[in-house]
Structure 1
Amino acid sequence: MASPLKCRVRRLWSRTWAGRTLGTAAIAMLAAQAAFAEPMTLDETGSTLMYPVFTTWIAQYAKAHPDVHINLGATGSEDGIQQVIAGKVHIGASDAYMSDADIRKHPQIVNIPLAIAAQTVNYNVPGLNAIHLKLDGPTLAGIYSGTVHAWDAPQIAALNPGVSLPHQTIVPIRRVEGSGDTFVFTQFLTFSTPSWESDHGYGTTISWPNVPSGITATGNQGMVKALQSTNYSIAYVGVSYSDSIEQAKLGTASLKNGAGEFVLPTKEAIMAGAASLGVRTPADERLTLVFAPASGAWPLVNYEYAVVSTEQSDPAVAAAIRRFLLWAILPSEDNEAWLNAAHFIPLPPHTWELSQAQIQLIKSR
């Protein structure tokens, strides 16, 4: 007979991921106890998209583990990765996975998904923020390359028949720092638009086209503030800032996905994108979930990574990192609620098993 704990967790994942169940390794992890004999400090920095979730995790973790203090930063995904490589922090939060070239240079670094998130495309067009303008990858690529420069351009008008679009210059906003949100957004442009792929490609930083009307912002909160203060602007924003977008009464676009459908960034649409590609996740878990071909899928979906060195200088530090990360991916009703508050989704069982295995690789030299 299954234990009450196993049944409870199976019910949780059944509700979220259509009946998939835990393996024995998961049950063993759930039974593990985390205790520390001496005070411990860990340092984290990186993704601003993950910042709200890490803030909650750290506050909740401290209640059960008062001897563990975690310093939290929000300096952008690229900086999080680089600081881990340099040995300056223990955990780099990132919306982007490391490239093959970087992994070859730093084989001791692992990319561990902790949750699933997404980006939204938002705008500030007076009189139109209450509706969901339809946009697609080629049109967004045109906006960010400067070839689509007015809100009533033929490309936008064709996608939104019957909508009275203003003859106003579009102000594209992009991140100034190395950003995982930029990584995901430019992947969408790359996968959906051959000209963008050949001219610009994707990355946490890229060589952006010079668009005279364009402006830059730092962090997701900076993107929201720039949108709010700039009429006729458009930006890509991490889904954990959706409540800020709503409070600011900004618009959210309906995007054309890989199946040719226009969809909104609902929980169901994000799950559909993750489910259709997540089963392909390899052992090192570096996989894009962008522009999934499945019906109903939101096209800007990504894993949220903890980037960590498997070679720690202190066995106590290695153990502390393992315990915190295992706790963070723990399938529980509490953790699901914390992720839901940031519009994140828990890992499906297949990815959870891979993340658990990668966490166990974190040791001391």
Structure 2
Amino acid sequence: MKPPWKGGLRAGAVGAAVVSGALALTACGSNGDSGASGSPSPAAATSTGAGGIACGKAATLQASGSTAQQYAMKDWIKNYSKACPDTKINYDGNGSGKGQDDFLAGKTAFAGSDTPLTGDQIDQSKKVCTGGGRAVHLPMVGGPIAVGFHLSGVDRLVLDAPTIAKIFDGRITTWNDPAITQLNKGAKLPSTPIRQFHRSDSSGTTDNFTAYLAAAAPDDWPYDHGKEWTAKGGKAVKGSADLATQVQKTEGAIGYFELPYAVARMIRTVSVDTGAPTPVDANVISASQAIAGAKTVDTGSDVLVKLNYTAKAPGAYPIDVVTYEIVCDKGNKSATWPATKAFLTYMASQKGQQNLTFQGYATLPAAVVNKVRGEIGTLS
């Protein structure tokens, strides 16, 4: 049987390790390699650890932000720390908005974020990045945002963008609504009330999910996309982990979160009718196919990925996220920069990237990853 994150999440889904709150790991010996075309300079890497991973100078790195990349971050930290035990890395998955705030306040070495900084925030970063530097974005991993549901007796549920928009705006309130039954002919849908859950914190997942609704269902989603939830009704929950837990334990529930959180809790996920011949499941293959068609915007060391939420290519899942590491192009914290640069180099390396699909993450286009590897080498 193929893993659920590759073939769509169903009742037999295999769980993954649950990660919530801050991650703080240190260890010793692992496999990996620097693998980046822009490998650290001698000042940035002072030794080579197990598996050929380049280690920076001993340091404790503080980072925070995206919950979307939290499972990946746990794996990166574990493997890097085994090879480079003199470096301790603490990552607090407190949401993209808070991660951006922490970085712009000079509290962290880098931020994880599923949404880019605004122009005003870029200007603000110049106060943190010394030597004429500014914040830049390094896309590090992608993946599907699953729409998870809990409805006894229903193993497969198909929804399209207009119907998802109306559900999350409180305008479809029962599971046997005609708009839902029309998309699920032959299914026995109960009259159970729909219990909608959304994020309460400033969230890049919310930004990407609402960007999908605004693009794919403009007549049914009367809100701008953003990190803050603005639609009507539903219950607000902090963080992807707790939101997924609420869906898992609540009959009639629906919510949005990254695929690894659905996999970990064996939550069934919606198949999205995009207008392609067949509805598309949320899995790493379908998300990778969609992300492969994304456009990139490169400005100096800055690399931004523009997703197409209205793509109708067969097998391409439309609700996706690309998550970034935010650092300074110049003027990074001198005491921790060698370790930070070495860690970023490992994250973007072949070994840093190769096992992420097993955790429910999608593959970024090779051109994007190669660009990131090169740009890391130019940062100072």
**Is TM > 0.5 for Structure 1 vs Structure 2?**
yes
Q: How does 1:322-361 map to 2 (within 5 A)?
A: 322-332=341-351, 335-337=353-355, 339-361=356-378
SS in 2 for 1:116: strand
One-letter amino acid of the structure 2 residue matched with residue 327 of structure 1: Y
Matched, 1:239 2:262: no
SS in 2 for 1:187: helix
Q: How does 1:283-298 map to 2 (within 5 A)?
A: 283=299, 284-291=302-309, 292-298=311-317
Aligned-pair identity (%): 26
The structure-2 alpha-carbon separation of the partners of 1:30 and 1:265, relative to structure 1 and needing over 3 Å to count, comes to farther
One-letter amino acid of the structure 2 residue matched with residue 118 of structure 1: P
Describe the superposition over 1:260-285 as per-residue Cα deviations: whole angstroms up to 9, x where unpaired: 7410012221111011115x443432
Give the Cα–Cα distance (whole angstroms) in 2 for the partners of residues 116 and 238 of structure 1. 10
> Shift in Å at residue 318 of structure 1?
2.2
> Shift in Å at residue 348 of structure 1?
2.5
SS in 2 for 1:194: coil
Aligned residues: 327
Aligned partner of 1:202 among 225, 248, 269: 225
State which drifts further: 291-300 or 219-228. 291-300
Describe the superposition over 1:89-130 as per-residue Cα deviations: whole angstroms up to 9, x where unpaired: 1121112222344335546111111112221011011111xx
Matched, 1:268 2:282: no
The structure-2 alpha-carbon separation of the partners of 1:322 and 1:293, relative to structure 1 and needing over 3 Å to count, comes to farther
RMSD: 2.4
* Bigger helix fraction: 1
C-alpha contact 1:115 1:304 (8 A) present in aligned 2? yes
The structure-2 alpha-carbon separation of the partners of 1:271 and 1:84, relative to structure 1 and needing over 3 Å to count, comes to same
SS in 2 for 1:188: helix
Report the equivalent of 2:167. Answer: 143
Give the Cα–Cα distance (whole angstroms) in 1 for the partners of residues 214 and 254 of structure 2. 18
> Shift in Å at residue 88 of structure 1?
0.8
> Shift in Å at residue 234 of structure 1?
0.2
TM-score (norm 2): 0.79
Q: How does 1:9-28 map to 2 (within 5 A)?
A: 26-27=36-37
SS in 2 for 1:262: coil
One-letter amino acid of the structure 2 residue matched with residue 272 of structure 1: Q
Unaligned runs of 5+ in 1: 1-24
Report the equivalent of 1:118. Answer: 144
One-letter amino acid of the structure 2 residue matched with residue 88 of structure 1: K
C-alpha contact 1:123 1:227 (8 A) present in aligned 2? yes
The structure-2 alpha-carbon separation of the partners of 1:52 and 1:142, relative to structure 1 and needing over 3 Å to count, comes to same
SS in 2 for 1:43: strand
The structure-2 alpha-carbon separation of the partners of 1:37 and 1:84, relative to structure 1 and needing over 3 Å to count, comes to closer
Report the equivalent of 1:51. Answer: 70
Report the equivalent of 1:300. Answer: 319
C-alpha contact 2:40 2:377 (8 A) present in aligned 1? no
